[in-house]
Structure 1
Amino acid sequence: MGPQGILVPGDLLIGGVVPIHVAKLYPTVTFHEMPPADICTMFENYQQLQAMRYAVEEINQRSDLLPNITLGFYAYDSCAALQSEIKGTLWMLTGKTEEVPNYCCRKSPPLAAIIGHSKSTYSMLMAHILGLYKVPQISYFSTSSLLSDRTQFSSFFRTVPSDVFQSRGLAHLVLHFNWTWVGLIASNDDYGYKGLEVIKQEITKGGACVAYIIYMSRNPMDQNIHNIVQVIKESSARVLVAFCTDVYLIPVLDEMLKQNVTGKSFIASEAWSISNVLSVPKYSSLLSGTIGFAFHSSTIPGFQRFLNSINPLNTPGTMWSKFFWEEAFGCTFSNQTNSSDIVNALENPCTGDEDLENLQNSYNDVSNLRASYNIYTAVYVIAKALDDLNHCQTLAGPLFNKYCATLENFEPWQLLHYLKKVRVKLSNGREVYFDEDGNPPAVYDIVNWHPGSDGSLRQVKVGRYDTMDTSRNVFSINISAIWWPSGNEEIPLSVCGQSCPEGFRKAARRGEPVCCFECVPCAQGEISNQTDSIECWKCPWDMWPNSKRDRCFPKPIEFLSYDDSLGITLAAISVFSCVVPLAIFRLFIHYKSTPIVRANNHLVSCVLLVSLSFCFLCALAFIGYPQPEKCLLRQAAFGLVFTLCVSCILAKTIIVVFAFMATKPGSSLKKWTTPRVPYMIITICTFIQLTLCVIWLTISPPFPQYNSEAKPGIIFVECDENSPYAFWCMLGYLGFLASVSFTVAFLARRLPDNFNEAKLITFSMLAFLSVWVYFIPASLSAQGKYTVAMEIFAILTSTWALVICMFLPKCFVILFRPNMNSKENLMGKDRRKEIKKKIIF
């Protein structure tokens, strides 16, 4: 046994560099003599050494793993010092008491692999050395993601997950509780920088935001702790992720107590999630309710019995066992000579027969084994790789020409092939193996800090984070077992903007992270049916939001129906109005032999009256549900009956003018005063409109459609004219005929009143044109059923204008002034007798 290392012989050897002492004193160096040896202090990790020893002895007793092969081991106490760690590594490689770089004095047994170190920085240096000789190295506590670089650390493995997995897990933990506004603090070293980099990426990817990032120095004098805590205090982020060791966190917690900072929830990395230093009552007001990740804990069957059975006088590494015994029982061995001698040693000597079962300390506490279990796992991994090497089939091995190595004479690099593919089933049912970067499956315990009755804090396991869970539920958390800060039963909120209810969407504030938002109501026609919606969705074309804008309901369908008061009124007016021309028609038939009826072209007047009656009736085609047949014919019918009507008026107007002009001697218009001319005019004018309508209905026929754009929240069922150009051509042609009639009648307005209808036609056409000129802008401004109502109103009004202006004076004379309905009164003077003959047909 060396001063800091031991060797337990065996057929095969494994090494272990374990910081049994966790601190060291460095004596003053005067440079006048050889530097004195460092002094190791704080003897704490003796259980970890016993875990390696227990695993070796357990494997040696098994018949299914390395049968007939005895494992031995090196163990070296690094005292958590870098130079001691290098010294121990070289001591194992050399095989002798003196450490000689690049030289091995041990011919046999072969050194299979080395377990260690716990610190990532030390493991990196150790990996550089062992990597030169391709000696496998398995760390049980080094988590730095830099060690996953196979180009630098080709022979490095570990039984703890990389910090990358932990960082992702902590970020997912934040997202799991819907904390979208968090602060990040970390140590200003590789551990902190790399950890926060991954956490920030994962949090941002998950839609959350980082309120601030703070890197802390280990030396409180190198930073302004007051300003750091001021940032934490003033931030609205109530959740704080601390990715550091407890040493970095202590100055921050002290300043938080000084500034009376409250209402913050800590998320702990594994480096301090089970720290005893921070579990004191002093920090309970700050750290109560802390949630963190810890290395997966497990139990080792029979390990506690083994721990309590050791004897300090016959246990490998008697110097270490005596150190432990003295600290555990407060006694001193009589032959103890080093600096830790107790002054009153003779008053309380150690016998070696003290009972460890009566002690309750960190040594025999096996309820939550973490580092010790990882060492235990590392030993089994090495043993399984050696067993796989031993079972290599000839001509099927991994070496050149498919040769196999032998346990009696193998090189460490030959074991690497088996370590990369090793799979070990442990007693807790989990299977350990390594990925291509030398990392095992990531699994962490989720611990929660509960306040104890004495004011101290205790870490309670409330869940697990397992990336290999086959159910894809990586988080398994017992929410009811979690103690939240200040004793709250509900999960605390940590958001920059309050949650947006249904019917609203989140709108980012200008110049701030996306998590800082305002709630904006959904726009018209849009809904959001979930809280914190990023955007609103449009309802389907036939649906409309409710008042809260969180559901879509079918839009009401609207059209000018007979159930509508407006539709009933217009239909009643239309039916009643169509009777008036028919009554006049009956009147004209009854008085067809009277001069006033004969003087106004009896047959043309009858055709005009019938067409006016149809004009009133065509309004009914615009009322009711727009069926395809109705849409196809209603505008064409309207155009044809009105064209017929205006054509009759035009014919009457032209014949009146021709009749007076034909009275002049030698006039060539006499041949145009025959009875056939007005019918030719009516036929030709109407045929042209009929042709336009046939072309329209053939090429681009109207059809019914649903219009959801005219008025929000309502679907109008209407007829789409399909070709606005054809519709306006039809209406324009009708306007053209009316304009010609008006112009001709206006020019003939000075003819004697008793002989023609020029003035009546002038007024009727003026009223007709005025109505339709007004209809064009009115129809463009109206929507839905009111557009149809406007057209019906224009039809009825323009038809009534023709009826009143053309026939009301004549009906008044026939019914109430019969004395005026005579030839003498009609002609006036004898000199007009000749003219009278020309205008009677």
Structure 2
Amino acid sequence: FTYKNVHLILSLYFALENINKDPHILPNISLLVKVECSLLDDWRMNSLSTKVGEFLPNYYCINQRRYLIVLTGPIWLSSAMLGPLLYMTNRPELYYGPFHPLLSSREQFPHLYQMAPKDTSLALAMVSLVVYFRWNWVGAIISDDDLGLQFLSELRREMQRNSACLAFVHIVIEDKILFQKNTNIYYNEISTSSAQVVIIYGDKDSHLQLNLRLYRLANLQRIWVTTTQWDMIIYEDRFLLDSFYGTFTFLLHFSELPGFRTFIERASNSKYDHSTSLAKLWWTYFNCSLTSFNSVNLKNFSREKQYHWLFKHRFEMSVSGTGYVLYNTVYAVAHALHEMLLHEIDILPKYSEEKLEIDSWQNIQFINPVGDQVDMNQKENQDLEYDIHYTMNFLPNLGFKVKIGKFSKHLLHGQQLYMSEEMIKWNTDLS
């Protein structure tokens, strides 16, 4: 139960509410959802089979709701774990986490579709930032997996093209013995290197995070350049990437969702699942027992006090990048079902055991409510844009985050990177 989980669940409910109110999509039909937040933990505790049986039964009774589609994320491992089980039940699985090449195998995951676009130009975007600030000596810390190694290959190519040098490259492996063996070697190299800028890329749930925790404990100060999944990670009441020099984060550009902030402010326990309540988030922050929470009279906790506390404790009141992908995922489901209705397909036969079949999810294209094109065909060459944020930490629990630029792949070379001179003028000494 975390801030980010609550934020994603609220993004899900926000999309559902808008769809169910829209007379032009799925008229006279309401979409419903059941949220499960602990499947990965259950798998690690060897009790997944029981859990899956609870929310994905291989049978259904008359007048009993069936789960037609499963949305998984943001951790790719949970989707990979559910893939074989969903294959047996023939249920489509839509993954809303960061794109992962392992999930693209049609043989292993024939019913899984990834909603997030590929980060095909992230290395180019980061190197463009390096060139802009004239950082010619840069380090890199990468996780030892397919994504990390592919990114490293692209990073080396772009660095060479732009006459920038990699001072060191640390590939953090998952083997515990080798990880411990390399820890001192890597620390000595990064602490003695003259490179003050370090690029971080990899799975945040890998040993890479443990490696960065050690650097944090050693108070290693560098300019970090990374992706949004490493943004605002808290470790022992401090930011994991805690640096006086600040952190640059890249995230895929997305549009703000009008009304989302208002939706969060008026979300109440009576209307939505009790497990997503903001009061519960407030209660667990103070390490109080969830058992005792169930007996608490919530009338004693005004929503005004809860929101005042949330503003002070890193709870985002605008949609996140992953939340935006989840929002689009819900709309993709709605559009797919709507198309089936237009073709007069009975998608919920009352006395039938037929599964939900959609000829090709990859053919689904639509314009979402904020005017962005959503295309589930990952083979299409998409014009990716990245927003660039800069975060400066002033106190252990206090930071300042601001958008300072963007990168647009589809523009001409030399015009792809835009940086706001006004936003970075006060920070010129760091270059």
Alignment deviations for residues 32-55 of structure 1 (CA, whole Å, 9 cap, x no partner): xxxxxxxxxx57622322322222
Structure 2 residue 428 is matched with structure 1 residue 489: yes
Aligned to 1:371: 322
The match for 2:77 is 121
- 1:159 and 2:115 matched: yes
In 1: Cα distance, 2:376 partner to 2:155 partner: 23
Which residue of 239, 250, 264 maps to 2:197?
Answer: 239
1:444 aligns with 2:394: no
Q: Counterpart of 2:59 in structure 1: which amino acid?
A: C
The alpha carbon displacement at 1:367 in A equals 3.0
The equivalent residue for 2:302 is 355
Unaligned stretches of 5+ residues in structure 1: 1-20, 22-41, 95-102, 333-337, 393-403, 493-841
Cα distance between partner residues in 1 of 2:51 and 2:28: 29
Structure 2 CA distance for partners of 1:180 and 1:292, relative to 1, 3 Å: same
Q: Secondary structure at the match of 2:33?
A: strand
One-letter code of the match for 1:255? A
Spell out, residue by residue over 1:585-618, the C-alpha distance to the aligned partner (whole angstroms, 9 max, x if none).
Answer: xxxxxxxxxxxxxxxxxxxxxxxxxxxxxxxxxx
Query: In the alignment, which of 312, 320, 325 is matched to residue 279 of structure 2?
Result: 325
Q: 1:63 to 1:290 in 2, by over 3 A?
A: same
Q: Is 1:216 aligned to 2:172, yes or no?
A: yes
State the TM-score, normalizing by the size of structure 1.
0.43
Q: CA separation in 2, counterparts of 1:52 and 1:274? A: 22
Helix, strand or coil at the partner of 1:271: helix
One-letter code aligned to 2:60: C
Which of 256, 260, 275 pairs up with 1:299? 256
Question: Which residue identity is paired with 1:78?
Answer: S
Residue 70, structure 1, aligned to residue 12, structure 2:
no
Residue 137 of structure 1: how far off its partner (Å): 1.7
CA distance in 1, matches of 2:197, 2:82: 37
* Letter of the structure 1 residue corresponding to residue 246 of structure 2: G
Question: Structure 1 residue 327: deviation in Å?
Answer: 4.1
1:226, 1:302 → 2: CA distance?
50
Does 2:354 correspond to 1:407? no
Aligned to 1:265: 223
Report the aligned-residue RMSD: 4.0
Higher relative contact order at CA 8 Å, sep ≥6: structure 1 or structure 2? 2
Alignment partners' CA distance in 2, 1:373 and 1:352: 32
Decide whether aligned partners of structure 1 residues 283 and 67 sit closer, same or farther in structure 2, where only a CA change above 3 A counts.
Answer: closer
The offset of 1:283, in angstroms, is: 6.4
CA deviation after TM superposition for structure 1 residue 202, in Å: 3.6
Superposed CA offset, 1:695-738 (max 9, x none): xxxxxxxxxxxxxxxxxxxxxxxxxxxxxxxxxxxxxxxxxxxx
CA deviation profile, 1:759-812 (whole Å, cap 9, x unmatched): xxxxxxxxxxxxxxxxxxxxxxxxxxxxxxxxxxxxxxxxxxxxxxxxxxxxxx
Q: Offset of 1:185 from its aligned partner?
A: 0.9
Residue pair 1:268, 1:291 contacting (<8 A) in 2 also: yes
**Structure 1 residues 622-637: aligned runs within 5 Å:** none
Q: CA deviation at 1:227?
A: 2.6
- Which amino acid counterpart does residue 294 of structure 1 have in structure 2? L
Aligned AA for 1:426?
N
Distance 1:453 1:242, change over 3 A: closer
Provide the rounded CA distance (Å) in 1 between the counterparts of 2:377 and 2:33. 26
2:140 to 160, 168, 184: 184
Deviation sequence 1:95-133 (CA, Å, 0-9, x none): xxxxxxxx3335775543211121112222223433455
CA deviation map 1:179-227 (0-9, x unaligned): 4442211233455334323323443355444332112357697244333
Give how far 1:385 is off: 1.6
Alignment of 1:33-182 (within 5 A): 45-78=5-38, 80-81=40-41, 83=43, 89-94=52-57, 103-105=58-60, 111-182=67-138
Change (3 A) 1:445 1:488: closer
Deviates more, 1:468-477 or 1:453-462: 468-477
User: 251, 255, 258: which is aligned to 2:214?
Assistant: 251
After superposition, the C-alpha distances for 1:218-254 in whole angstroms (9 at most, x for unaligned) are 7697244333122123334342111143443121233
> Going by fraction, where is helix more abundant, 1 or 2?
1
Cα deviation 1:107-164 (Å, max 9, x = unaligned): 7755432111211122222234334554322222243232233443333223333354
1:430 and 2:372 matched:
yes
CA distance in structure 2 between the aligned counterparts of 1:86 and 1:169, rounded to whole angstroms: 42
Q: Counterpart of 1:203 in 2: which secondary structure?
A: helix
State the shift of 1:69 in Å: 1.7
Measure how far apart 1:171 and its partner are: 4.0
Taking only the aligned residue pairs, the percentage that are identical comes to 20
8 Å CA contact 1:160–1:440 kept in 2: the answer is: no
CA–CA distance in 1 between the matches of 2:420 and 2:376?
Answer: 30
Q: 1:405: how far off? A: 3.6
Task: Give the secondary structure class of the aligned counterpart of 1:112.
Answer: coil
SS for the counterpart of 1:215 is strand
Instruction: Give the greater-gyration-radius structure (CA).
Output: 1
Q: What SS class does the counterpart of residue 489 from structure 1 fall into?
A: helix
SS of corresponding position for 1:75:
coil
Tell me the secondary structure at the aligned position of residue 228 of structure 1: helix
Partner of 2:404: 462
138 and 175 in structure 1: CA distance in 2 versus 1, 3 angstrom threshold: farther
d(CA) in 2 for partners of 1:150 and 1:477?
Answer: 40
Once the two structures are TM-superposed, the CA of residue 439 in structure 1 deviates from its matched residue by 9.9
Deviation digits for residues 665-713 of structure 1, max 9, x if unmatched? xxxxxxxxxxxxxxxxxxxxxxxxxxxxxxxxxxxxxxxxxxxxxxxxx
SS in 2 for 1:52: helix
**Residues 347-746 of structure 1: matches in 2 within 5 Å?**
349-352=296-299, 354-358=301-305, 359-360=307-308, 361=310, 365-392=316-343, 405-409=345-349, 414-417=357-360, 419-437=361-379, 442-452=384-394, 456-467=398-409, 473-482=415-424, 488-489=427-428, 492=431
Q: Is the 8 A contact 2:42 2:51 kept in 1?
A: no
Aligned residue number for residue 290 of structure 2 = 340
Is the contact made by 2:245 and 2:430 (CA closer than 8 Å) also made in structure 1? no
Say if 2:188 is the partner of 1:230.
yes
Q: Taking structure 1 as reference, are residues 128 and 490 closer, same or farther at Cα in structure 2, changes over 3 Å only?
A: farther
**Residue deviations 1:453-493 (CA, integer Å, cap 9, x gap):** 7884332221233446699954333243137xxx651673x
Check conservation: 1:216, 1:223, Cα contact below 8 A: no
Aligned residue type for 1:414: E
Inter-CA distance 236–106: structure 2 relative to 1 (3 Å threshold): farther
Q: Could you tell me how far apart the structure 1 residues matched to 2:87 and 2:380 are?
A: 14
Residue identity matched to 1:382: V
Shift of 1:272: 0.9
Question: How far did 1:88 drift?
Answer: 5.1
Give the whole-Å Cα distance in 2 for the aligned partners of 1:111 and 1:146.
25
Tell me how far 1:67 sits from its aligned partner.
Answer: 1.3
How far 1:381 sits from its partner (Å)? 1.3
Contact 1:187–1:248 (Cα < 8 Å) also in 2: no
Whole-Å Cα distance in 1 between the matches of residues 427 and 251 of structure 2?
A: 24
Supply the AA of the counterpart residue of 1:310: A
Supply the AA of the counterpart residue of 1:125: M
Code of the residue aligned with 1:489 in structure 2: it is T
Change (3 A) 1:414 1:174: farther
Cα distance change of structure 1 residues 370 and 446 upon mapping to structure 2, 3 Å threshold: same
**Which amino acid in structure 2 is aligned with residue 415 of structure 1?**
I
CA distance in 2, matches of 1:283, 1:367: 22
Contact 1:326 1:350 in 2 (8 A): no
Q: Distance in 2 between matches of 1:481 and 1:44?
A: 27
Pairwise CA distance, 1:433: 1.0
What SS does the aligned partner of 2:34 have? strand
CA distance in 2 between partners of 1:472 and 1:387 (Å)? 43
The aligned amino acid for 1:76 is E
Contact 2:252/2:384 (CA < 8 Å) preserved in 1?
A: no
What's the secondary structure of 2:211's corresponding residue? helix
